[in-house]
Every structure is written in C-alpha cells, then in structure tokens.
Amino acid sequence: MAISNSMATSHVRIVSLPLSKFAFSCLHVRSTGEICYRRLHHHHVAPCSLSSSIQPPLDGGVVQESQVDKLIWEIRAELGSIESRDLRDVETLNDALLLVDLIQRLGVQRHFDHHINGILRSLYREWREESGLASPGITVLAFRLLRLNGFVVSADVIEALKDPNGWFSCFSIQTPRGISDMLNLYRCSQTAFPSESDIMDEAHQFARTQLSRALLLEEWDPLLQIDYVRREIEFALEYPRQCLLPRLESRSIVKQLWPGDGTINKCLELAKLDMEMLQKLHLKEIEELKRWDPSILDDLPLQRAIYMAVYNTMVELADNSSKVQGHDFLPFFKNLAFHSCMHGNFSGRIKWLHLPRKLHGKTNTILPPLEDYTREAEVSIAGATCLLMSIFSMEELITKEALQSINKDSRFMHFVCVIGRLCNDVATFKHEESVGEMASSISCYMRDNPHCTQDEAITSVRCNIESACREVELEHFKSRALVPECCSRAVLNFARTMCFVYKRADAFSNSSDVEYEMLFRDYYYDPLVHV
C-alpha cells in the first residue's frame, strides 16, 4: 500500500521488501507494495482483495518516451517565455503562478526545476513582507509557493489581509475567481510554522467554513458546476495537506481538469503519462511480492520467518546504499536496528500494553505520563529505521551534515515518528482497549488528567498531532539547505502517509473500509487512459 510521490526515473532500482515496515519505508520514487502485519497479536493482513484483481500492466505502447520528451520541451518553452516577461504585470504574474502551481501539484516539477526556480526568484524580488503582491488571491498563492520552495516569507502578510474587524473580507466565494482565491487561502493556511499558529488557524477556519458553506447553499450550485469546482472543494476539505498524498492529488487534478486546453492540456497529458509509468512500476513490484510463498510460514516459527526477512532486507538495502554512498553502510544499519530494538522502547511499550484497567478500584496509575509514553513509544513506529534505509538507496549522496538533519536523533525525525505514533493511537485506541491493550497516548493523557473524558483526551491528542505537523513543516523547510530535496520530502511524506492511513481507522489492518479500498484500487489498477 505504500504510495510514491514522485515519478520513477530511468535509473530506479526495484527492491522487493517482504515486511510491511520495511516495504512501507519506500515512500518516495522507489516505493514498493507491502504485506502488513499488526505490531503485536491479532495479525491481520491489510486489504488483500485488491491483489486478486490485478490487471495486466498497461501496454508498453501507451507510454512513448518521444511523446513525453515532446511535452516536456513544449512546456519548458512556455515557462521560458513566462520567465522572460515582466512579472510586475498582474495578469502575467497570475498566469505564471497558476502554471507553476499546476505543475507542482501534478507532480512533474522535476522536469522544470530550472525554469520554476527562475520564475520564483523573480517573484521573490517583487514580494513585500508588509503587503505581499498585487491582490489577496495572488498573495496567498505566492506565499504557499515561495514557502514550499524554500523562500523565507512571514505570515505577517496574512495578518495584513484582515480588515479592521479582524475578518478576511477581501475573500469571497461569489465568483469562480473568488472560489479559487478561497481555496488558495485554505491551502496557504496549511503551511504554517509553529510560531504562526494563531493567524494561520484563523485563516484556516475562515476558509474552511466558507468553502463548506458553499457546498451547502443552493444559490451557488450553478457556480460549483464550473470546471468541476465542487469536486475540487470536496477533495480539498477531505484531504488537507497533512494527510494529502501528492500522487492522489495529481490523479484528482487530471480527472477534474481533463482535457483542458493549451499549456494546461500539455501539463495534464504529461502527468497522465507520468502516472501510467509509475502505475506500471507498482504493478511490477506487486507481482514480485505475489511470488512469495506464504505456505513457508506453516513450516517455520513466525519469529524465525520475520527474523530472516528482516535480516535479508537489511543486508540488501545496506548493499544498495553502500554502492550509492561509496562506503560500507551495513554497520550503520545494524546500529540503527539495534537502537530500535534494544533501547528499551519496545520492552517498555509491551510492559504497558497489558496493564489491568483498574487496580483496587482506582484508575491504573502504573501507566506512564504522556510525555514519557511519547518519548518511549515513538520508536515503536519504526519511522527512522524505515526512512533512513530507504533514503540511503535513493542514489543521492548524503553528507555528514545532511545526515544530522534527518538522523534518528534529529528534530525532523522525532516529530515525524511522534505523528505516526499518535495517529495510530487515535485510530486504534478503542479496538485495542477492547482487547486489553491499555497503553496509548489517549489513556496516558487521561491518567495525567483524571477528570477529562475520553473524547476530550482524543481531541487533545489530535491537537498534539497538529502541532507536530507544524514542527515537521518547519524542519522540512530548514533541511532544504543541506539535505537533497527528494530525501527531505520522503521524510515529510512519511508523516503525511501516517496521517492519511490512520485518518479514519487503521487502514493497515482494517479491510472493511470500502472507500479506502476503492481509493487504492483506483491508484494501482485503474488507468487514466480513458480520462
């Protein structure tokens, strides 16, 4: 079920990873399918009904490299033309921002980095911290693009958009352009850093409320039929940035805007071909996984099977990483695995999991404080182990300085793992409580706050997830100076994947979620050739 956020390149190395936590680590270009086991007992493989309906890979004739090259050349020419124009002209500026935004959200920006950076540098020269750019709509779109591409911008410019009554009255949903601006305000508010929580929360709540009202009021219904605006609003509200998998957004955009015209059509066509190539790669990887013979588990103890699978995976990943980085990485991987298993985290968590709910008629006080639980339990999500093993196989050289930004002890990795642990707890708390597993962030919060209700505890933990997501945004921004972009994005997308997977339930072990099953079926098996 692992999902890539970038298209595979010609030099991608396919690695078949047998266990969920290792397979799941490949969130970037080199991701693979996976078999998922629950972390303790009640082992339950994630939705397998999909594998029974695998279609043959798309025909090789569908994707023609010459067609892709032609589209890339034509889009580069358009970007070059825009780059040479005067971005002080409002219409030129708006066209430039919309095209850059479309290309990046379609996931094909790697072909146009030079031109995109040139346009954004020109844009940044016109940026004013106190007022932004020509209009509120252009300002919030530019803010998001600049921030996500590594330019320093302050949320003070969002504060400046409020009227004297503290209301974002310059934004309206009475016209198609107004709805587009409101969507951009909504997306902009999701790029907040921790110190910007107040103003970005205000913008987020305002935009979300207005967009939700637009879906309910009949007077705007004809307006919402324009260019599939309703579907765009529904998708944006359902999948905010923190749980938005980029390739799912790309597919949604292609379906919404197809066929488009002019340069938009070329971008959509390139993205469609791009995703078809990635889909073929995923299907090939799934076929590799299907070659595993599960009957071997009948003859071997589960622990031995897991041990050998992990051992072989680690050796293979270390070998690949050593070839890329130029020195032996097996000792590093051994140390990483040793830290995860022997640091006391798993043993402490197992000790807490099966505590009795009541001791002498009182709430269990053996449960640790939430802070202690979070510190110990974050390692059990295995994020650092999964991510670092994958990152070193990405064919990008990682310097010692870069490693400090994404290593297991970094703030970046810490908050990513916290997100994974807390999201899992919120999604699985009630089920795990029903089978006697007591230790979770919910129960620990209730231990710290004896008079709070379970719902209040869940709300508080969700607030902690939101805070951690903002910390991750900040650490991702800071890491860009040292860490290869694809590697830092892989760490970011691990957090987003955790939020997505546990958005409604434990999608690893809950095979009854029909909507999620359809979502993954569409992603892996349904081609876009008939769009």
CA angle 23, 26, 29 (to 5 degrees): 140
- Output the 3-class SS for 32-53: CCCCCCCCCCCCCCCCCCCHHH
Residue 373 is predicted with a pLDDT of: 84
Domains within the chain, CATH numbers bracketed: 20-46+276-525 (1.10.600.10), 65-273 (1.50.10.130)
Q: Mapping DSSP to helix (H, G, I), strand (E, B) and coil, where does residue 130 land? A: coil
Residue 11 is predicted with a pLDDT of: 33
Quote the CA–CA distance of 39 and 513 in Å, as a whole number: 20
Q: Which amino acid is at 109?
A: Q
Closest to 111 measured CA to CA, from 73, 66, 84, 81:
73
**How many CB atoms sit inside 10 A of residue 529's CB?**
12
**How many CB atoms sit inside 10 A of residue 514's CB?**
9
Q: Which amino acid is at 420?
A: G
Quote the CA–CA distance of 281 and 284 in Å, as a whole number: 5
DSSP 403-452: HHHHSTTSHHHHHHHHHHHHHHHHHHHHHHHHTT---SHHHHHHHHSTT-
The answer to whether residues 302 and 141 touch, using CB atoms and an 8 Å cutoff, is no
Residue 438 is predicted with a pLDDT of: 66
Closest to 419 measured CA to CA, from 325, 497, 322, 311:
497
CA angle 269, 101, 190 (to 5 degrees): 130
pLDDT tens for the chain, 531 residues: list them: 333 333 333 333 323 333 222 222 233 333 333 333 333 333 333 333 333 333 444 444 544 678 899 999 999 999 999 988 888 888 889 999 999 999 999 999 999 999 999 999 999 999 998 888 889 999 999 999 999 999 999 999 999 999 988 899 999 888 888 999 999 999 999 999 999 989 999 999 999 999 999 888 766 666 666 657 888 999 999 999 999 888 889 999 998 888 888 999 999 999 999 998 888 888 888 787 667 665 555 565 555 666 667 677 777 777 777 777 766 767 766 666 655 554 444 445 545 444 444 433 444 447 788 888 888 777 777 778 778 877 877 778 888 888 888 888 889 999 999 999 999 889 888 877 776 666 788 988 988 898 989 899 999 999 999 999 999 999 999 998 888 888 899 999 999 999 998 886 655 555 566 777 777 777 777 777 555
Backbone angles phi, psi at 241, to 5 degrees: -55, -40
Report the predicted TM-score, pTM, of the whole model to 2 decimal places: 0.77
CA angle 41, 469, 475 (to 5 degrees): 115
Residue 28 is predicted with a pLDDT of: 33
Which residues are paired to 363 by β-bridges? 358
